[in-house]
Amino acid sequence: MNGECYFCHGIVSAPEEGHIWLREHDSHEVYMHEQCASGHNVIEGGQGPAGELLITCPECGEVETV
């Protein structure tokens, strides 16, 4: 699945390492590069129980594990 980075508008290819796809939302999907997400402080400090990243959606504020 490909999309446009929410922050830099570059191409994000979800299965690639360093590319994030937030898809658990009802009305929207958000794509971003991990580097962009980190620079905009949407990656939470900890990790989920299985080592996933905790990402705050820049559009709605919901936290999702990736």
For residue range 11-56, what is the model confidence (pLDDT) as tens digits?
Answer: 999 788 899 999 877 788 999 999 999 999 999 876 667 778 889 9
> How far apart are alpha carbons 27 and 51 in whole angstroms?
27
Supply the pLDDT for residue 51: 74
Q: For the chain, what is the domain count? A: 1
Closest C-alpha to 8, from 52, 55, 40, 41:
40
The residues pairing with 31 across neighbouring beta strands, listed in sequence order, are: 5, 21
Task: Note down the domain range covering 33.
Answer: 2-65
β-pair type (19-22, 30-33): antiparallel
Closest C-alpha to 56, from 8, 24, 26:
24
